Structures are given as C-alpha cells and as structure tokens.
A and B are shown apart, each in its own frame.
Chain A
C-alpha cells in the first residue's frame, strides 16, 4: 500500500530509475541508512550491474555498492562521510548543479557526464539522482545511480568493430586473424587465460576484449600490475585488509579480487608476482576463497582470472622464480600476441589508422606520409611494437606543420634507422594456440607459402591480392590438399575455406 502510494508519485522510465525507486522505497518505509544494520539490502545493491551511491542531505557518501567500489577503487567504509565529488571524481557535462536541484526540488533527474575510474580512465556515465522523501521530514537522502555508457558511446561514434577492428584491435595479418578467431572461444569459457607477448603488443587490450565479449561484461574488469607494487602492498591490494591489520590500516579495504566480484581480474606482469603471493593466488584459484590481511573471516569470490606477461614463465619455473603448480593452473588457455614485425601487412594499416586518428584529435590537416617517411616506417623493426608505432605517428603529427609528414618529422631514432626490407617471416610461434598444443616447445615449421614481402609490394597493390596469392601458393605446394594448406598458412581449415570462397577459389 505504501509502495503503491509512493510509486504513484514517481515516474519510472528506465532501469536506473527503477533501481533508484526500489531503494527509495526501502528508505521510505523506514530502513536505516546504516547498511551494516541491513546487510541484505547491501547484497541487493551489490547485485545491481550499475554503480549506486547513497548520499545524505549534505551530499556526502553514506554507502556505495560493489560495482561502484570497483569503478572508483574505494570501499564504502573508506569513503563514508566524504562529499560525493571527491569520492566519485564526477563531472556533469550539462547540469553541474543537478544534485543540488534534486535536493531542492525533490524530483528525480538525469544527466550525462563522466567519472575518472580506478585505472585512470575517463568513463562516460549517465547519472540519475532520486530523492528519498519522508512525509514528515521532507527530503532525507538521495540515491545516485551511475550507469556506464562506454558501450553505447562507442557504438554511437562508430568505434566498435568497424572494418578490420575487433575488440579494440586492428589487423589483417594471419596471426591477428587467429587471435580474432580465438577471441569468442576465450570469451565463452570461464577458464584461466595466459596472454604472452612482447611489450606493446596489446596484452591488456586483449584481456579487456575477452572480458567485454564474455558473460561477465556487465561486471567489473580490474587490472592489477603485479610488478608495480612491493610485496606487502600488493598483498593488500589484491586481497584487501581489515581495519588494524597493520599500521595505517584505518579502515577495512576490499582487495581487487573482491572489487572484481562477478567480473574479471587481469593480473599483468604475473611473472613478477613474489613467491609467497603465488601460494596465496594458487589457493584462491583452487578454493575461490581467501582471507583478507588480518581477517579471520573467509571471503568467497566469483572472479575469472586472466594473466599476462612478457616473460618466459616456463623458463622462470626452471629457474625457481615461479611455482610450477601455479604455472599449470594459469596456463589453461594460452594466447601469444604476435610482435608487430611478424604481423605482415599490419604496419601500413596501423600507420593509416593512427595518422587519421591523431590528425583528428590534434586538429591537424595532415593527409599522408611522404614515400621516404613511409619507407622508413615500414622497414623499422619496432621493438616497442604497436605502442611504439603509435607514439612515432603521434610525434610525426605533432611535428608536421603542413599536409605531408616528411622523414624529418619522425623521431631521430627512426630517421637514423638503416633502410632494410622487413625481416623474413620468423617461425610460427603458435599465436593463439590452446596450451595443450603449446606444451611442446617445438615451433611449427615456417610458412613457405608466404612470399617475400619485398616482391609482394612491387607486384600487388592491396592486401587482398597478397592474401589470395598466399592461398594459391599454399595450395600449389600441398598439391591442393586444403588441410595441409591451412596448416602452412597457420589458419584453421574453416578460415581457409571461408577465404577461398571470398576470393572465388573454392
């Protein structure tokens, strides 16, 4: 009855408002604002895939749900009593006084804006503020729902999966195609994934892409760099601590595993994880529960683990720097991100992409690179991989005053690099193979079907021609045996069949 009366006075027009209204109802009927007295309600809030903050009349935080804890990196206890703009790092685009107006007018209102998240990323947010009114005391509190708009914004501006881009990746090369093909498989399982690859190859982007394509995408994606913190801090960062666990632990703090509840945790530079923490991580993986620092109460977690490293973990195991049992536990599915020098044809594609993107973002009227600059860029070896290429193009766009980036606009390091043909295609290092297939260290034979790129660039003008020639070459070498040809091309049989159909070779 009370709820019906209340509902008649409110207008529900989307999910966020429904959540807010439900919460308002709880408060309306007299539930205390202290969530510790009502753990069931906190559990309801934690189950909602949006950030929720309960604010008092002074717009200070009373409680936040777990989703919001994951976005900001602060636990509810830590930020209790702090003004919302400090705790949530908000920015309202159009109506900066929306919360004040909600307080004064007592009406639900929405606006768009953003917050700065834990990983120093700006997250577009739709804010919905709903006042909690009491018939006697007037406005008593406010529910602020924060809806992550990243997916919607990316779709609107056309950033999502256009052309050769998949999950933030760009690439036509066979090795990247294999990664693209494996992505949905990795996303549809809950097994641990180990991503290996040199620095700058996109391990982080792949981990995030797997998360976003998975059923856990509505829940948080938390990234922790195991090499960035000393052991004592890292343990607290990963598993959390309780108040008084050590000097300076003034409040309970949830660890990253708790913040990632329901979602995915990505431990990058896992090879740098100290041995004592490796034991604890192994326990978490086996039991799905752990003790936060100083706590006697076990915490259960439902989190998917993805790890990444540029180190050779097998070698580390041999040297005693990494536990073998943990290595096997992490190495369930293994993906190797190919270095840029092995991604045939992708350098030109990425150059064009970054050139366009930086020209727009830096408001420059740059149309192209000069032939000399292009030649130098396509022959450079890129030890820093895609990240280095991106930085070089950004440098060039900044330095260039005209419409064409010349050789002198590139960094000295690139200018001084001797001209050479791109390196010969190295042995197939097993991009995107399940761990079981990678267990042996014997690399696959080199792909003889791939012609030398120096001859290709003279004879063909686009990637389709090169790919078609590759397929024909492989079929010729195997006497028309498609299975063998697919192996030579380092593709699956289905990929080969699809490509043959695409080029009318079937």
Chain B
C-alpha cells in the first residue's frame, strides 16, 4: 500500500496509462482496416479469373478450341494455394435446377452447396453456349486472408511491445529521480527522532528550492539537539559523584554488622502484620531461601515449619502484645544438602513505628540445629538403655550397683531398693559354676570386656541361665569409672539344645530300619524288569508293521502323482491317433484328388519352409492373427473373409507380411493351398505328439518300475547314485513341475553298494518333506563331495526354517509337525535308521535361508 501512495508511483501511473490506451487502440483498429482492403483486392482478382475461365469454356464449346481454357486453368492450378475451390455448374434450361459439372478443390468430398458461404469470398462468372449454360465459381476462405494479415502484422506488434516496455521503464526512472531527495529527508528526520546523530548524512545545500531549504533546516535542528544533550550530560556527572561517596560510607557500616551476625548464626527480621510483609537480614534470606516477594509473607514461613510447631508460631506472630516471646521450631522438610531437619529459635516483640503509626514485630531468628540434634541423640540413648528387653546393670569400680533398668526387676524378682547398693553376687546360686566365678573376678580386675554363661537364682528360688556381657565404662579422659553388664536370658535355649540331642539318637535307630527295607525292594525290581523286557519285544513287532505301512504310504503318494502324469500323454496320443486316421482317410484323399500340379508344387514348397518352425504358443498365434488381419484388410480390401484367413495363416506359422505370403496371396487358388499345407502340418504335428507322449509316459513307468522292483531286496547291490536320485525326481515330477526346481549335481560316475530301494526311500522322504513344507514352491539342490574316504551327499532347499526347538527331534520316533492322522512321524526316523544301517550318518542344519540334510556313507570297495 505504501507503494501506491508514493509520488513516484503517482507520476508514473498516469503516463503509463496513456501509453497503454493508445497502443491498444492501434493494435485493435488497424488490422481490421487492413483486412477489408485485402478482401477487396482478392475479390477483384477472383472476379477476373472466373470471367477468364468462363470465356475459355465458351470458346471451347462454341469454337472447339480448348487451348485457351487449358491455359487459364493452368494458371489457376499454379496458384492453387491461394484459392479454396473452383466449381463449374451447368443449367439445362431456365426451369431446371443448377447442378455441379466439375470441381477442383483440396478435398474429394467437397460439396459446394453445403458450405457456409459467409466464411468464404466467392465470385462467379456466367457462360452460355449452344451446348451448355452455367457458371464458373471461384472461392477463397476468409481465414486465409486473416492468416495473411496476421503474418504481415506480427513484426509490427513485436516492435510496438518493445517500444511500450522501453517507455514504461523510462517513465519509472524519471519518477524515481523526483522522489529520491524527498526520501532522503524522511530518512534523516527519523534518525533525529531516534537520536542517531552520527548516521545523519545530509550536507548543506546551496540551492534554494523547497526541498533543499527543508534539508538545510533539518541540519540546523540536528546541531541544536546535539548541544542540549551535552549540557545534560555534565549535570548528571556531578550528581553521581556525590551519591557514590555517601553510599560507600553506608556500605561499610552494614558490612560490619553482617559479620557479627554470621558468626552467631543469627539474623534479624521485622514483620508488618497489616501488610503481611517480612523483611529479613541478608544472612537470613540465604538461610531460609527467601528469593521472591511472595516468600516474605506469613503463609510462606508457615509452610516451612513442621506441623507440630505451626500453632505456637502463628499465635505468637498474630497476638500483638508487647510482651516478648521466644519459641523453638523445626522445619517441615529436611535440608536438601545434609538431609537433616533444621531447628530455629525465634524471638520477637511488638514495636510501634513512630512515623507511620503502625505496629510491627521485630526480633531475631537463630539456627539451633546442632544443639537440638545433640539433645535428641542423648534422649535416644537413655531410652534405649532404659527400655531394653535385656537386663542392664551399671556398677561403680567396687561393683556396687548404681543403676539398673526395669528388665532386671522382672528377671531377678527383687525390688529396686533391694538391688541398688548391693553387688551382683546377690543373684548367684550355690550351684553357680566355680570356674565361671573365677573368670568373672579376674576379668574385672584386668578391666577387660568379656562374655560368659552363668546360672543364677531369683528371689523366689527359680533358677535361670544367663549370657553375660561385661565391659568397663570409661570417662572422657579414658579413666575407668565403673562396669556395665548386659544379661540375656538363655534358659529356653538351653532346654532346646537338650531336645535336639534326643532327636539325633532317634534318627540313628530309624536309619537301620531303612537299610533292611531296601534289600527286599531290590528283589521286587528285578521281577518287574523281566516283565518290561517282554513288553518291549511286543512293541518292536508292531513298530515293524508301522514301518511297512509308512513305506506303502510313500508308494501310494507317488502313484497318485504318477497316474496323472501318465494319463496326460496317453490322452494326447489317443487323440492324435484318432486325428491321423481322420486326416488320412478323409481329408488327405480328398486333397490328392482335387489339387492341381501347380498348386501341389506351391504346397510342398511352403510346407518345407513351415514344417521346420515350432508351433507358436497360443498367445503368439493370436497376436500374429491380429497383425495379419490389419495388414490384409489394408492391402487386400477385395479379400472378404480376412479374419478367418488371418487365423488360418497364423496357425500354420505366418507371423507377418513376408515374401512367401505376398506370393501366396497373388495366387488365385491361395485358399486351397493354405488348406492343404495345414493338412500336412497337422499330420506331422500329430505324429510328433504321439512320439512325445510315448517318450514321456515311458519315462515315468520305467522310473516306477525301478522304484518298486527293489522293495523286497535281500542282498546289497551296486548301483549308480545319480540315476537313483534322478529316478526319484522323475517320480515326483508331478509335484515339482509347477513352481519348484530340483538340481541334481551328483557326478555321473559315483557307484554305491547297498539296498537301492531303501536309499531311494531316503531321497524320496527328504525331497518330499521339503516340497510339502514349502507348498511345492522351493528350490532344491543336491550336491556331492568325497572326503576322508566318505561320500557326502547334501540335499539343500530354500524353504522355511526348521525351528531351533524341534530340529533336534526331527529324527525321533513318532515326532511329527503335521496334524493328527496326517503323518506317522516315522519318515525321518526310518531315513535315519536306513542311513545307519548303511554305516552312515545323517544330520540337519537349518536357518532362515536354507535347510541342509547331509548324509555321509562310507566308500566301500567295489
């Protein structure tokens, strides 16, 4: 918005608008004029030409001289790009309709009677002869004229735009130049406002125009402002000096006072009750963590105090008598650094402020934590001693008892008066051990701490055992002042010890009984073992049956897959035999009878070329048919059934337009030739199919034969390992062929000695498992190496990982991960026993990427 108000914009906008409007008028008005004059000129030309041609027509028909007409038509044709059409009409007589005799135009479908005449410039000339009357009409579309005009005008437009832009820029520059000095004044006035005198940058101007006068006045203003500023500065400096001196004296006095307070851990305060405002000495503020003005209120101080002391505190602070008070309070929360609670002694008295006539409380606060802690400690100790469950006796150096706790009274059944002043010998009985007494005596004399057990008697004659701890008491200077005895009643414990001895002897007698019982048990166990052995034999027998069933199940799985594999080629063979019969007996005979020698030659040539190609896939055949259809419909429009033809051609092996196809279509009998070629190809394909089918089914039957032949082997035989495995792969091909791959890398020359059928089961089981686990989608690689005189055969698949928790169990009997009823769980167990039967080992490792079964078998001398 600022821009739109500035002077430069105002100047500039007026000039630019005028320029813009005049340009617009020119650009719009003149082209129109041009168009009109061009139309007029072209119109005249058209009229001339049509008249000339009409004349030519009259000459041709009346005088039989066509040359002039030819010439003027030649002229029209040369200039054809400048016209749109030339039409000759004829009218038989006045009443009859006018119709078109001939026309020259760009489009074959041009219809003169159908055009929009307003879009064209049309001129005509009439001709009349004895033979024919009519009109010669020449037309020119107005669009052509428009285009011509635009083309001519384009450079002018560009020049105009260019001039326009330059002028606008020029005006802009001029406007800026006018407004620049004004902006300078504005800027400097601001500087003065902000007292930034050093940035002031106008110089004294000599010229007398208004703007220069303004600038000069501004300079004068700046000078006087600077002078004023300087005078103020001096005054301030003097004042400051005086104040500094006074302040220093005051500070000194305050410092001394603070020092005294710090030593006493004492601070002073005053409290204005009606304002609820405290003032504290500095050291107090530190101690109480007074940081904000909120903290200088009664409520805040209350919040620091432990609940027990709050009432006393509040009462004294609000009572407002002139009597002084003194209280001791504890903090609510422990100190953050030391972790202990703090104590404070607060003194105070109310005074009257003479100036404001208000009452205020003033006094001291002193920290007394250390004293309070010491008192608490002392209290604790004396409590502990007093209330101890154990008896505690304190004597002087002569063993005269000076203090006892309450437990002594309970224990000994004497009263306090009877005990104080006597020695502890009064508690001993006649049965007290002499040795113990001696130890006590000696240790006391030696002023040493000791422990012992002693038997005492109560006032009423009850005996009791004590554990006695005696130690001397020393004064602060280390001089012995007396003794302290702690006595623990151990009467109960003594009783318990006796009982334990009794139990031990009982246990020893029981042990002897157990030994005899064991001996009779062993005899019973031997009997039971005999029974178990018999049962195991039974189980083994049924296991063998289950193993056989497993074998049969495996065979069954294979056969199911094979049935499908064999039926498919059989189906193809049967159909092909059928076809051959039909093709030969009906079609072939017919063809031979009807074909001509020439055609036959072509058929054979074409057949020879095509029968070496393999039959294309269905997708490609359809694609080729589409290609051929488009080519044929375009180039051979006279062929009616192009669709069927292109299908036939693609089925016999044509893909696109080639030399052979062109030659074929030129022959008039091409349909018959194609039919015969197709016949021959079908015969050949049927034969091929039969062959392929026979090979396929033979392979599978042979594989099955090999597999089942060996199920009842009794002796070890020698066989080729690669073939053995290939066989299994063939038998499982029904499962493999869709989404899995199996690669057999066993070298050709490896011979094994063993039971061929059993080892077949090993490969079958492992491969089948891999396929099942991966839903027939894995890639299996079978590798071989010979090391340490062992055959190492590894079967690796990239299916799912066998979890770590079950991999150790996979070879176990009856272990299966399949649902109940789906697997016997014996597959891998049998595999393992077969491998071990051949003196080999099998193991399995599995990770996210691969699962590898490794079988090693000893190399036997062949």
Pair from one complex:
no
Which B residues contact A (CB, under 8 angstroms)? none
